[in-house]
Amino acid sequence: MIERPLIHFTPERHWMNDPNGLVFHDGRYHLFFQYNPYGSDHGHMSWGHASSVDLVHWEEHPVAILVDEREQIFSGSAVVDTDNTSGFAGEGETALVAIYTSVDAESHIQSQALAYSVDDGLSWAKYPGNPVLDRGSLEFRDPKVFRYDGAAGTYWVMVAVEAANRQVVLYRSDDLRSWSLLSTYGPAGAVDGVWECPDLFPLALDGDPADLRWVLVISLNPGGIAGGSGTQYVVGNFDGVTFVPEQPVPDALEDVDWLDFGSDCYAGVTFSGLPDQERTILAWMNNWDYAGDVPSLPWRGAMTLARRLSLATVEGRPQLCAAPILPSGVPVDPEGVLPTAARIEARLRLGAEPGATVLLEIAGSEGRVSIGAAAGRIAVDRTAAADFVPGDGVESAPLPGGSLPGVSLLGDAEVIDLTIVIDTCSIEVFAAAGSRSITDLAVLGAGRRLRISTEGGATVEDLSVADIGVGGPSSGVRP
């Protein structure tokens, strides 16, 4: 069985998948998630709940919204209704409002419903007027709601999907209860699987608040860049009614913009309640191709590291960059045994010779993972560390040329900066200032060591390792 991660959230027991209702309120980050309270397989979908003050140490709470005989509680989002537009808060109270997909137990129709909490997410009441939005569809799900404030007015916007149609649907509301259609987007880009878990948010390009762009995130299963589940994104403009891509959206998988190029970063959505410049995403660290086969009882399912997002000009166009939020670490000897949870920082200089490559291999008692870097590409090979994964276990990402503000990429310097994060059963690689990442489940075991080999005149200019295993997320349930 896989050992429980130290720095990634897992439930104390039972099945977990998509993050839901990510919201920051009163100094605390709330993570709700798809959860089976009764077993270790997907089913009986409810909203589990955990919270954190730093996005690193998590405290698990009792189930927030429980399945019942009428409905399952599928994915959705949560907002802080500061102005009490919904009317759910009493005097002196602030309501957190969850917008979730209700799946009817008999008809299996998916519609959108509300629940609310006035005690900071510890207890929830379902709105008696549910559902608040019903299209009579079997595939209408995953509402992400945010407060829009722009030229078109101030109101709530819901971004959801007609999954099988590969279409994003946008609605507006003044009170979270009554919704009217704004527009649709898609199908476009990667369409070989159903669309799920959309998100839409603004980011300042290159940190310039006067140059605001909008990012539409869409998860896809199957049809991801690494096979099975994956998440694409599109940069464009949103006027409060319609999202329009900035550039034509490519159809070829390699040309689509991907949130992550690995196999195990799916259904990622961002926290509401944070300033735009602190846009933070969390995703399910798994893949529907093998999620039910991962040997990790009594818990099954983990979240990725939380990642702070930014938008930078890369190769002449806006692209997302992700910086992992990590615990502070203690430096250790790179030539010694690696800690179970470790951050590895490396600067690689490839030089001008053709065929210049650097290979970093992390080998333990149960498996090994290799990270290979060459001009124009980075790859992760976990073939020998994930027996439950079909296929060859190799994922790769194209590296950009040119430069980012204050960061050397390939270009003439031919330098690659890497951040590699390992835990008990995962590896996350960030390159090119976070504009490329690869996230994979991988079982390495104990006694891990780092070995480095180079070819074609390539060198490792800088290397450091830190122990970031700080006890991991709590799995104790608070009453």
- Under the banding of pLDDT at 50, 70 and 90, the label for residue 325 is very high
pLDDT value of residue 343:
98
Active site residue 119: no
Give the amino acid at 32: F
Residues 6+ apart with CB under 8 A from 96: 23, 25, 30, 78, 79, 80, 81, 116, 117, 118, 120, 121
pLDDT value of residue 470:
66
Q: What is the dihedral of CA 231, 235, 237, 240, to 10 degrees?
A: 20
pLDDT value of residue 427:
98
Instruction: Flag the least confident range among 191-195, 223-227, 284-288, 408-412.
Output: 408-412
| Residue 25 vs residue 476, higher pLDDT | 25
Cα–Cα dist 81/89, whole Å: 9
Summarised one tens digit per residue, pLDDT across range 159-193 is 999 999 999 999 999 999 999 999 999 999 999 99
pLDDT value of residue 476:
42
109-135 b/e (C-beta count within 10 Å ≥ 16 → b): bbbbbbbbbbeebbebebbeebbbbbb
Q: What is the sign, positive or negative, of the torsion defined by CA atoms of 22, 25, 29, 32?
A: negative
- Under the banding of pLDDT at 50, 70 and 90, the label for residue 415 is confident
pLDDT value of residue 474:
44
Work out the average pLDDT over 411-420: 78
Work out the average pLDDT over 385-402: 89
**pLDDT above 80: residue 141:** yes
Q: What mean pLDDT is reported for the chain? A: 94
Residues 6+ apart with CB under 8 A from 143: 76, 77, 99, 100, 101, 112, 133, 158, 159, 160
Summarised one tens digit per residue, pLDDT across range 235-278 is 999 999 999 999 999 999 999 999 999 999 999 999 999 999 99
Work out the average pLDDT over 385-399: 92
Cα–Cα dist 337/245, whole Å: 48
Domains of the chain are 14-324 (2.115.10.20), 330-467 (2.60.120.560)
pLDDT value of residue 403:
53
- Under the banding of pLDDT at 50, 70 and 90, the label for residue 336 is very high
pLDDT value of residue 78:
98
- Under the banding of pLDDT at 50, 70 and 90, the label for residue 297 is confident
Catalytic residue, candidates 18, 257, 289, 440: 18
Cα–Cα dist 44/41, whole Å: 9
Work out the average pLDDT over 16-41: 98
Tell me which residue has tokens 């590699």: 420
CA distances from 69 to 106, 138, 217, 220 (A): 9, 18, 33, 29
210 close to 202: Cβ distance less than 8 angstroms: no
Summarised one tens digit per residue, pLDDT across range 451-479 is 999 999 999 999 999 999 965 554 444 43
Closest CA to 410 of 378, 440, 386: 378
pLDDT value of residue 406:
44
